[in-house]
Amino acid sequence: MLFSHVEKVAPKRIGFAILGALLALSCARTGMKEGAPPGLGKAAAEPLANPPRGPFGYSMLTSEDGENLEIGDFVPYDDCAGCHERQWEELQGSIHSVAHTDPIYRATAELARAEAGPETYAYCSGCHSPQGVSSGLIPDTPDSELPEIAKAGILCDVCHQVSSLTGSTGPWGEPGNASFVLSPDEDRKFGPPAGTDDEADHAVETRDFLATSEFCASCHTIIHPLNGLRIEHTYAEWKGSVYAEKGIECQDCHMRSVEDAVKVAETLVPVKVLGKSEPESGEREIFPHFFVGGNANADLLGGSHEHAVMGEERLKSAARLVIEAPSGAVAGDTLRFEVVVLNVAAGHNLPTSLTELREMWVELEVRSMDGGVLFHSGRLEANGDIPEGAMRFGALAGDAQGRITYKPWEVTQFLFKRLIPPKGAERDHFEVPLPKGLAGELRIEAKLWYRSAPPKVVASLLGDEAFELKRVEMARSEVALAVH
């Protein structure tokens, strides 16, 4: 299901003062819309009588015969770098390359292992270390005893050893939960169309799906394995958009430079990128391998400043902020205006992915000519929380008892969800009483902020080793109006 408005349930079901305030405050403070879209207030997803399983547990990951693979069948990054140096350099420090070792994921995964059991840990690892799961090393091997290749994240030899996709014929009827078949062979790799090189030291077989969104969705759709709730549904967000209608695939933005991705979003026409698979090969269409999304913390998680900069640039290109206000105001009267957030360059919702963690909000101020603040909203609390009354986007996930949870294995429902669909917009109405005797000029300033997770979640996961995730200013807008 796609959500483009506020989703809410009765505050009494949640029992958290902050959420109750979020849903109850008037539009003058929160701007949150009255009237829920269809389907709100549904009961929590119930446990499935027979949760679907693959040969390696709840993950849909499989091998050709369903048997364990040998970890030695997977080629490490450095072996690929001998011929494909450019691609290797682009991957270094990417979120793909640290999929298993990213400290926030690592802490979450170990918590899942402790609280929900080894099968849940293996389910997560089906996408974060497919080689570790398919070889049988995960979940029973302690992380400290895993060979380095099992902890190396999404290897070149994961994507390029997928022989087929199983999502459309699988139990969920769509790609997700590692719905692919791994067929490692050091003498053969799979490549996208136009990916065959006669000069290659190994055979290359074409797989058209490598250039499709379904391939990405194999891991970027997360379906709760025990109750079927769609926790991460970026693929469905894209599939229902004009991007999919125009044939723009995930790769057309996320395997492109920021500049090219913006061009694709503006024109809805793919940008062809030419290059060489390896230095001695001929030039052909070949995609960059940075795989950058909104990962502005790539330097903190994987040590790559370059990926962090690109992630921040992508966030800053994704949205536009507009203030719709009158040209003048009357002292002693009420100033009425609207703030509009537009999704201009993301082929999925804003925010997307694990929306119960991702936070996007508007910080708003109305100031008089002498600098006095007449109204403010969205200024972070001292503890880093987004304050009550902010125009905010994202989600709050709930467990079966309606309590807020950040643990995916506990999620059975969404208590609140507000996302902006591709090429869509969300607006909030604000009302500010103006004091009598006010004169001169008023300024309204709005900033759109984004961060990957709330500080309290990072602190609860990492304890004394917690660090502050970056807060990225995605967009800003300012208007001035005269007071009479």
Please return the burial class of 408, using the count of CB atoms within 10 Å of its CB with bins 0-12, 13-18 and 19+.
Answer: buried
CA 162 to chain centre: 23
Q: Give the pLDDT of the chain (484 residues) as one tens digit per residue.
A: 222 333 333 332 333 333 333 333 333 333 333 333 333 345 689 999 999 999 999 999 999 999 999 999 999 999 999 899 999 999 999 999 999 999 999 999 999 999 999 999 999 999 999 999 999 999 999 999 999 999 999 999 999 999 999 999 999 999 999 999 999 998 999 998 875 566 678 899 999 999 999 999 999 999 999 999 999 999 999 999 999 999 999 999 999 999 999 999 999 999 999 888 888 778 888 899 999 999 999 999 999 999 999 999 999 999 999 999 999 999 999 999 999 999 999 999 999 999 999 999 999 999 998 989 999 999 999 999 999 999 999 999 999 999 999 999 999 999 999 999 999 999 999 999 999 999 999 999 999 999 999 999 999 999 999 999 999 999 999 999 999 8
Going from the C-alpha of 11 to that of each of 7, 29, 394, the distances in angstroms are 12, 17, 17
Torsion angle, CA of 251/253/256/257, rounded to 10 degrees? -160
Please tell me what DSSP assigns to residue 73.
G
Helix, strand, coil distribution of the chain in percent, nearest 5: 30, 25, 45
Going from the C-alpha of 270 to that of each of 127, 256, 283, the distances in angstroms are 27, 10, 19
Query: Measured between alpha carbons, how far is 110 from 441 in angstroms, rounded to an integer?
Result: 55
The CA angle 404-409-415, to the nearest 5 degrees, is 30
Q: Give the other-Cβ count within 10 Å of 406's Cβ.
A: 18
The residue behind tokens 């009158």 is 326
The residue behind tokens 């966030």 is 315
Amino acid in the structure at residue 476 = R
The CA angle 287-239-121, to the nearest 5 degrees, is 75
Token pair in block for residue 210: 């490598």
Buried-state track 225-260, b at ≥16 Cβ within 10 A, e below 16 = bbbebbbbbbbbbbbbbebbeeebbbbbbbbbbbeb
pTM over 0.85: yes
CB 484 within 8 A of CB 330: yes
Please tell me what DSSP assigns to residue 146.
S
Name, in order, each residue with C-beta under 8 angstroms of 389's C-beta and a sequence gap of 6 or more. 21, 25, 29, 30, 377, 378
CA 302 to chain centre: 17
Domains for the chain: give ranges and CATH numbers.
7-45+318-483 (2.60.40.10), 48-183+205-218 (no CATH)
The residue behind tokens 């790559």 is 304
Going from the C-alpha of 282 to that of each of 193, 205, 274, 335, 385, the distances in angstroms are 15, 18, 10, 63, 53
